[in-house]
Amino acid sequence: MKWRKFVGLILAMVWLGLSPLGAGQDLFIKNGTLLTITQGIIHGGDILIIDGKIKEIGQNLTPPKGIRVIDATGKYVMPGIIDSHTHVALSGTNEASVAISSEVRMKDVINPEDPAIFTALTGGVTMVHTMHGSANPIGGENVVLKMKWGKSSEEMYVPYAYRTLKFALGENPKRANMMGFSAQPRYPQTRMGVIAIIRREFAKARSYMREWERYNQLKKNKKLVSFILPPRRNLRLEPLVLMLQGKMVARCHTYQADETLEFIKLSKEFGFKIGAFEHAWEAYKIVKELAAEKIGISVFADNWAYKMEAYQGIAYMAGFCAKHGVLVSINSDSGERIRRLFNDAAKTMRYGDLSEDEALKLITINPAIQLGVQKRVGSLEVGKDADIAIFNKHPLSAYTRCEMTIIEGEVYFDRAKYLEEQQKKAAAKKPHKKGGQK
Amino acid sequence: MKEIIKMMSRPMNWLEKMRKKKKASLRHFIGLGLVFCWLAGLAWWPTLAKAAETEPVIAIKGARLVTVTGSDIPQGTILIKGKYIVDIGPSVTIPPEAKVIEAQGLVAYPGMIDGLTYLGLQEISMVRATVDMRETGNINPQVRADEALRPDSVHIPITRANGTTCALVAPTGGLISGMSALIKLDGWTPEELVIKVPVAMHIQFPMMRGRYRRSSRSVSGSKRIKELKKLFNEARYYEKRRLAAQKNLLLPYPDFDEKLEALLPVVHGQLPVMISVYAEKDIKEVIKFVQEEKLKAILYGVHDGWKVADEIARAGLPVILDSLYNQPSRWEDGYDALYRNPAALVKAGVKIAFSSQSASLAKDLPWHAAKAVAFGLDQKEALKAVTINPAEIFGLGDQMGSLDKGKLANIVLTDGDLLEIRRHVKHLFIEGKEIDLSNYYTDLLHKFEKRLKEK
């Protein structure tokens, strides 16, 4: 009889394998103020979601029979917020023991149990670019995740985003603010060294790439094929080769204007692409260059003056750069700030005088473009993933509160339901607590 | 402070008296000098009187007035003379000499008061050379925030440009961190900044360890209370020994102890303690402790306040909340525990104030208050918690915190709701003086706007 069970198990596995992993759900959002980002505001709008995708948007849609309906009357519906720079949902951030750790992949250390995932949901965040730290001139490969709390890392992983490699300039790779164990001297200790070591690695990667090209060339010759050996694989250089081939982009942590310009020069020297500069607190000084090179920035709204290189980081920066043709996104870089990115976006209206529309773009479509996922997320449009955040007041008001966060049609955070559960838990706990105190 | 100085000088008194007997002739000379000064003063009097007459008069006309203590005035005028509000209402006669500020369409609020900041003590948090609010060691009651204030900090003009006019500047760290000062955000010297000092003696209890936070501080609350009690008793005995020595020439004076000296106004219940305390158990113990020791006390932080709100209210202790840019320590408390904490405290009848707990982000004070409104706090109560409540908690309720006749003219004019993010401060007055709203941010912005205009 044992073989029957075995076959059953195999069949079950095949069935599970065939069923589309993480396939979305159906949902109908009724009568909300829809902040679509790309197509203006729809008052009293409905959204029909089928299989996790937005099927229809408009006024007075009729919900299909049996579909779950969410009443958004008096509420604001916007695309799920995208955090373009954070370190949540990881069980490691910095491989700080060596200066160059490009072989490290954040994909390998996804932690689906990190409570910061839930924290992100409570602030309407549905997607994050979760990154290697900035201890190394060349860190590791970052990963894009959807905040599917309770699901596996495979289900959270977003395969269609750009592949990005973390670079870092300035104080952090110099280890300038380190104490204790981390303060042990390590090359590089200067900004000169930081640029030099990155250049060295790209030069190595270029010759490594040529070695492979030569091998692949020689391999075609059938007489030679039995005499030649393939080059030794170098996992540290491989991501840089991908960059030289245009298959991966740099996300470079930078503060000072000068080092930012140096990195642009380096990218031209080797012909790799810069996805965005991270933090880039002095970007407002080199707006001309950034706009000309079409390089975006992923920045804080106003978290500044925590270290020397952040001392000229003015809160007007994001707004100023956005107004002058730079693609700007606002990031959290934190498991706490991640839940108030909508507040941070509003700050660009106080500092920088952006319009509501421009401010909202900084946390939706702009980070999506920077991650190459703008065809899937970042706005409320027919055909896009139904990643949605619902707020009780306008998301740019200081008085607002996130009520619901939806990913691919599935509700991952529902404040009303959450409060109910909390109450139940508290009620269940009370008698026990009294007994304990005696 | 006066008490401290008096006590410090007391041991010397008898010596001085002995000396003074020999200096009678000197006294005559001083007497003559005083008469001369009085005559000189008479000669100067007319010019002094003239100065008083020409105190600048400013009329803020046509704004919506949010007085905080009274009801709002949809359209009214505030009359400022010198440092003070001399008249306010819907129909105020504007004297001809007044400088009129047309404020139609704007809203006038009292300047905000930040319940705890590091303004002037910290410039760049990771650069040790610029950080002056954390003294080494555990017991530092003798250090005073006002003695390390840097009036030229870039954070001060940035903060006031968002509507804050006064702030508590407090030391931190250790068990007893030192004394705080209340400052106004305008002045060239530390002395010009300081409104009141000392405001409180700052004491720290550890934050909780939990799922969210991995705290390295492991000293338990009750251990800290034992240590404090021991210290306070030492201070009391120190004073007793000194009093005894003053009465009895045979008894030796105790060696001067700066720390115990500084604690005397605290144990006498004259100088309030501001205790940073977070966990439910610690809050309960702290309430018991301040009652037993008969201390004047303000609670700070109070993350678990919503669990013990009634007890705090019953003890009559005011609470200053720390930055809401924090997370609850315990997962079970709910993601919004710190956000709804202010509402729960107010509902129980506790007087609360907000604080930015920062220097570089002190400008965010109104947004902490707004966050609490999003999670249940009444909007008017939130406004009070950044104006009149902190004024009263710091013992200056009769001087600031609302738009009232006779109060200091600390006034913000905005183009919208003061607690909103999407609004701009248009005019700012601190003690009657119109303040330049430009700051380090705007200076740098303008510098690089110019670069863009270059061809």
Distance to chain B for A304, nearest Cα, Å: 7
- Verify whether the Cβ–Cβ distance A115 to B419 is below 8 Å: no
Q: Are residues B126 and B69 in the same domain?
A: no
Contact list in B for residue A425 (CB cut-off 8 A) is 332
Q: Could you list the pLDDT tens digit for every one of the 455 residues in chain B?
A: 555 555 544 544 544 554 555 454 555 555 555 555 555 555 555 555 555 568 999 999 999 999 999 999 999 999 999 999 999 999 999 999 999 999 999 999 999 999 999 999 999 999 999 999 999 999 999 999 999 999 999 999 999 999 999 999 999 999 999 999 999 999 999 999 999 999 999 999 887 654 444 444 445 778 899 999 999 999 999 999 999 999 999 999 999 999 999 999 999 999 999 999 999 999 999 999 999 999 999 999 999 999 999 999 999 999 999 999 999 988 889 999 999 999 999 999 999 999 999 999 999 999 999 999 999 999 999 999 999 999 999 999 999 999 999 999 999 999 999 999 999 999 999 999 999 999 999 999 999 999 999 97
- Verify whether the Cβ–Cβ distance A305 to B155 is below 8 Å: yes
- Verify whether the Cβ–Cβ distance A316 to B442 is below 8 Å: yes
Taking the C-alpha atoms of residue A218 and residue A222, their distance in angstroms, rounded to an integer, is 8
- Verify whether the Cβ–Cβ distance B126 to A396 is below 8 Å: no
Q: Are residues B44 and B97 in the same domain?
A: no
Q: Which CATH number do you get for residue B82? A: 2.30.40.10
Task: Enter the CATH code of domain A81-377.
Answer: 3.20.20.140
Taking the C-alpha atoms of residue A28 and residue A37, their distance in angstroms, rounded to an integer, is 20
Q: Are residues B116 and B98 in the same domain?
A: no
Q: Are residues B135 and B230 in the same domain?
A: yes
pLDDT tens track for A245-294: 999 999 999 999 999 999 999 999 999 999 999 999 999 999 999 999 99
Q: Which CATH number do you get for residue B284? A: 3.20.20.140
Q: Are residues B426 and B304 in the same domain?
A: no
Q: Kindly provide the ipTM of the predicted complex, given to two decimals.
A: 0.92
pLDDT tens track for A332-357: 999 999 999 999 999 999 999 999 99
Nearest to B441 among A119, A308, A314 (CB): A314
3-state SS record for chain A: CHHHHHHHHHHHHHHHHHCCCCCCCCEEEEEEEEECCCCCEEEEEEEEEECCEEEEEEECCCCCCCCCEEECCCCEEEECEEEEEECCCECCCCCCCCCECCCCEHHHHECCCCHHHHHHHHCCEEEEEECCCCCCCEEEECEEEECCCCCCHHHHECCCCCCEEEEECCHHHHCCCCCHHHHCCCCCCCHHHHHHHHHHHHHHHHHHHHHHHHHHHHHCCCCCCCCCCCCCCCCCCHHHHHHHCCCCEEEEEECCHHHHHHHHHHHHHHCCCEEEEEECCCHHHCHHHHHHHCCEEEECCCCCCCCHHHCCCCCCHHHHHHHCCCCEEECCCCCCHHHHHHHHHHHHHHCCCCCHHHHHHCCCHHHHHHCCCCCCCCCCCCCCECCEEEECCCCCCCCCCEEEEEECCEEEEEHHHHHHHHHHHHHHHHHHHHHHHC
Upstream peptide bond of B366 is cis (omega within 30 degrees of 0): no
Model pLDDT, residue A9: 60
**Could you tell me if B284 lies within 8 Å of chain A, comparing CB atoms?**
no
Model pLDDT, residue A10: 63
Q: How far is CA B156 from the centre of its chain?
A: 14
**Could you tell me if A324 lies within 8 Å of chain B, comparing CB atoms?**
yes
- Total structural domains within chain B: 3
Kindly give, in sequence order, each residue whose CB lies less than 8 Å from that of residue A193, ignoring residues fewer than 6 positions away.
Answer: A174, A187
Tell me the residue range of the domain where B145 lies: 112-400
Q: Are residues B11 and B69 in the same domain?
A: no
Confidence category of residue A376, pLDDT binned at 50, 70, 90: very high
A7 or B72: which leads in pLDDT: B72
Average confidence (pLDDT) over A66-74? 97
Model pLDDT, residue A255: 98
With 80 as the cut, is the pLDDT of residue A160 above it?
yes
Model pLDDT, residue A179: 77
- Verify whether the Cβ–Cβ distance A285 to B451 is below 8 Å: yes
Whole-model pTM: value is 0.90
CATH 3.20.20.140 in chain A, residue ranges: 81-377
Average confidence (pLDDT) over A378-403? 98
With 80 as the cut, is the pLDDT of residue A400 above it?
yes
- Verify whether the Cβ–Cβ distance B124 to A316 is below 8 Å: no
Confidence category of residue A225, pLDDT binned at 50, 70, 90: confident
- Verify whether the Cβ–Cβ distance A303 to B361 is below 8 Å: yes
Contact list in A for residue B421 (CB cut-off 8 A) is 343, 346-347, 349-350, 396-398
Q: Are residues B258 and B353 in the same domain?
A: yes
- Verify whether the Cβ–Cβ distance A284 to B448 is below 8 Å: yes
Q: What is chain B's alpha carbon radius of gyration, rounded to the nearest angstrom?
A: 25
Q: Are residues B225 and B329 in the same domain?
A: yes
Average confidence (pLDDT) over A203-226? 93
Kindly give, in sequence order, each residue whose CB lies less than 8 Å from that of residue B320, ignoring residues fewer than 6 positions away.
Answer: B115, B116, B274, B298, B299, B300, B301, B352, B353, B354, B355, B390, B393
* % of chain A at pLDDT higher than 70: 92
Contact list in A for residue B373 (CB cut-off 8 A) is 398-399
Q: Are residues B428 and B312 in the same domain?
A: no
Q: Are residues B246 and B287 in the same domain?
A: yes
CATH 2.30.40.10 in chain A, residue ranges: 22-80+379-438
pLDDT tens track for A120-142: 999 999 999 999 999 999 999 99
Mutant choice from B124, B448, B449 vs A, greatest count of A C-beta within 10 A: B448
Confidence category of residue A326, pLDDT binned at 50, 70, 90: very high
pLDDT tens track for B52-80: 568 999 999 999 999 999 999 999 999 99
Contact list in B for residue A122 (CB cut-off 8 A) is 335-336
Model pLDDT, residue B151: 97
Q: Are residues B329 and B354 in the same domain?
A: yes
Distance to chain A for B4, nearest Cα, Å: 37
Task: Enter the CATH code of domain A22-80+379-438.
Answer: 2.30.40.10
Model pLDDT, residue A430: 67
Could you give the angle at the alpha carbon of A77 between the alpha carbons of A73 and A80, nearest 5°?
A: 150
